[in-house]
C-alpha cells in the first residue's frame, strides 16, 4: 500500500516481465500437478456385417464381422467376430451379458478349447456358462478378436499393436465394439442392465472398460456396466510390476490362504502378451534388466494406472481367482481390486486353475453370480 496522497512508482518493464514469468511458472506447476494423461480414453467406430455362424458353441446365434476404426493410437482397421444369442423369451428379457476369453481373446467363450472339461455338459464349461445365462433370459454377446474373414493380420488378437500406451490403448477395440453393439444393435437400451465377464486377458478388457473408458459410470459413451466379473485377473493391473523381473513385488494372497506370489510376468508371458502391444519388446527388456530399464509408460498403461489411483464405480465389481492359479495374474489382479473403493467382492474357487471358466465350480459360480447380480 502507499500513504495517502502518494503515487505508486511505475514498475520497470523488466520487473513486469519477471512477474509474468512467475505467473506462467505457477500455471505450469498447476498444470503438471496431475498426471499428463489424466483423462478418459476415447473409443472408435464399428461397422457390422452379418455372416454365418460356425456350427460350434451355442446354437441359434446371429453372427457379425465387426470392423473397428478410428481408435486413437492404432493404425488401420481391426476386425473381430461377434456372436449374439437373443433371450429365449424377449418379453422377459433380464439384461445383456458380454463375454471375452483370455490372452488376445481369439475364441468365443462357448467354444474356447481351454474351457473344455468332462465335468460339464457336452464336456464344455464355457458353453455351459453362456447357455445357462442365456436360458435365464439374458442376451449373450461373445467377442472373438480374430478377423473371421482373415483379411486383416491380427496375430495377437486385441493385443496386436503397436501402440505407445500398449494394452490400455488397444482395449479401445473392446470398448468400441461393446458400445456399438449396444447403441446400434440394441438401440441404446437403458431399460435393461448390461454386464460383462472375461477371463485373464479378457478380464483386463472388462476392467479397462470400466476404469479408463467410462463404462463404470455415466461419464463414458455407454453402456454403463451394472455388474462386472473379472476372473483370473486383470493381469495388467500393474504392468510396471509385471515387467520388473526379479525386482517385481511379492504379494500375500488369500487364494489359497497364506500364499505369496510374485508379480513377475516371466519372459514367456512378456513375449506373448505384453510386447506385441508395444512398438518394441519393452517388457522383455525390462525383465532382463530386473526393472532398471523400465518403460516410462507402464504404470500409466496399467488398469490401476497413475491417473486412476482409487477407482470408484457405479458398476458392482466382483473378482474370482482359482486356488491352483500361481501365475502373476492373481497378485496383479489384486493390485486393481484392492484399489477399488466402490462396491466389490472377491471369491476364491478351490481347485480352479488360471483358466477358471473351464473348472466346473468356477463355471457354476459365474452363472450364479451373473444371474443374481446382473440387475
Encode pLDDT of 241-293 as tens digits.
999 999 999 999 989 888 999 999 999 999 999 999 999 999 999 999 999 98
Strands of 86-137 (E only): list them: 95-100
Q: What is the pLDDT of residues 186-202, one digit of tens each?
A: 999 999 999 999 999 99
* Residue 293 belongs to some domain of the structure: no
The pTM (predicted TM-score) of the whole model is: 0.90
Q: Please, what is the average pLDDT of the chain?
A: 91
Q: State mean pLDDT over 363-373.
A: 98
Strands of 75-184 (E only): list them: 78-85, 95-100, 138-144
Q: Which domain holds residue 325?
A: 45-238+303-373
Distance CA(231)–CA(356), nearest Å, equals 7
* Residue 271 belongs to some domain of the structure: no
* Residue 26 belongs to some domain of the structure: no
Write out the three cell numbers for 225: 456396466
pLDDT at 341 over 60: yes
* Residue 124 belongs to some domain of the structure: yes
294 strand-pairing partners:
none
Percentage with pLDDT > 70 across the chain: 90
* Residue 183 belongs to some domain of the structure: yes
> Cα–Cα distances in Å, from 347 out to 253, 338, 342?
12, 13, 17
Domains: count for the chain: 1
Q: What is the pLDDT of residues 128-145, one digit of tens each?
A: 999 999 999 999 999 999
pLDDT of residue 98: 99
pLDDT of residue 38: 55
Contacting residues for 177 by C-beta, under 8 A, at least 6 apart: 46, 66, 68, 80, 82, 143
Binned at pLDDT 50, 70 and 90, residue 309 comes out as low
* Residue 172 belongs to some domain of the structure: yes
Q: Which residues of 56-65 are buried (b: 16+ CB within 10 A; e: fewer)?
A: ebbeebebbb
Q: State mean pLDDT over 12-24.
A: 40
pLDDT of residue 296: 92
* Residue 223 belongs to some domain of the structure: yes
* Residue 63 belongs to some domain of the structure: yes
CB distance 282 to 351 below 8 Å: no
pLDDT of residue 13: 43
With cell 516410462, the residue in question is 296
Which CATH number covers residue 67? 3.40.50.1820
Q: What is the pLDDT of residues 40-92, one digit of tens each?
A: 999 999 999 999 999 999 999 999 999 999 999 998 999 999 999 999 999 99
274: left (phi over 0), alpha (psi -120 to 50) or beta: alpha
pLDDT of residue 53: 97
318: left (phi over 0), alpha (psi -120 to 50) or beta: beta
Amino acid at each position: 500500500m502507499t500513504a495517502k496522497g502518494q503515487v505508486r512508482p511505475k514498475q520497470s518493464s523488466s520487473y513486469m516481465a519477471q512477474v509474468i514469468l512467475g505467473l506462467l511458472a505457477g500455471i505450469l506447476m498447476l498444470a503438471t500437478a496431475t498426471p499428463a494423461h489424466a483423462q478418459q480414453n476415447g473409443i472408435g467406430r464399428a461397422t457390422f456385417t452379418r455372416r454365418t455362424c460356425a456350427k460350434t458353441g451355442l446354437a441359434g446365434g446371429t453372427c457379425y464381422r465387426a470392423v473397428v476404426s478410428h481408435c486413437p493410437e492404432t493404425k488401420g482397421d481391426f476386425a473381430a467376430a461377434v456372436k449374439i444369442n437373443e433371450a429365449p423369451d424377449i418379453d422377459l428379457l433380464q439384461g445383456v451379458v458380454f463375454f471375452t476369453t483370455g490372452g488376445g481373446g481369439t475364441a468365443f467363450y462357448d467354444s474356447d478349447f481351454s474351457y473344455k472339461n468332462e465335468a460339464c455338459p457336452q464336456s464344455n464349461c464355457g458353453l455351459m456358462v453362456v447357455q445357462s445365462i442365456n436360458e435365464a433370459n439374458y442376451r449373450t454377446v461373445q467377442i472373438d478378436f480374430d478377423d473371421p474373414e482373415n483379411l486383416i493380420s491380427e496375430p495377437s488378437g486385441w493385443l496386436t499393436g503397436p501402440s505407445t500406451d500398449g494394452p490400455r490403448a488397444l482395449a479401445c477395440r473392446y470398448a468400441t465394439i461393446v458400445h456399438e453393439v449396444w447403441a446400434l444393435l440394441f438401440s441404446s437400451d437403458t431399460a435393461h442392465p448390461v454386464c460383462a465377464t472375461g477371463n485373464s486377458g479378457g478380464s483386463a478388457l472388462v476392467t479397462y472398460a470400466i476404469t479408463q473408458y467410462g463404462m463404470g459410470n455415466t461419464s463414458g459413451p455407454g453402456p454403463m456396466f451394472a455388474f462386472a466379473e473379472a476372473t483370473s485377473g486383470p493381469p495388467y493391473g500393474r504392468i510396471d510390476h509385471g515387467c520388473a523381473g526379479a525386482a517385481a513385488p511379492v504379494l500375500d494372497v488369500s487364494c489359497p490362504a497364506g500364499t505369496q506370489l510374485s508379480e513377475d510376468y516371466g519372459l514367456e508371458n512378456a513375449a506373448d502378451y505384453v510386447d506385441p502391444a508395444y512398438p518394441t519388446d519393452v517388457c522383455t527388456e525390462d525383465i532382463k534388466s530386473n526393472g532398471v530399464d523400465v518403460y516410462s509408460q507402464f504404470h500409466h498403461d496399467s488398469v490401476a494406472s497413475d491417473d486412476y489411483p482409487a477407482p470408484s464405480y457405479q458398476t458392482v465389481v466382483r473378482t474370482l481367482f482359482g486356488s491352483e492359479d500361481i501365475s502373476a495374474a492373481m497378485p496383479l489382479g489384486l493390485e486393481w481390486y484392492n484399489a477399488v473403493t466402490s462396491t466389490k467382492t472377491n471369491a476364491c474357487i478351490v481347485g480352479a486353475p488360471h483358466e477358471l471358466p473351464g473348472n466346473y465350480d468356477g463355471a457354476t459360480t459365474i452363472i450364479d453370480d451373473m444371474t443374481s447380480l446382473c440387475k
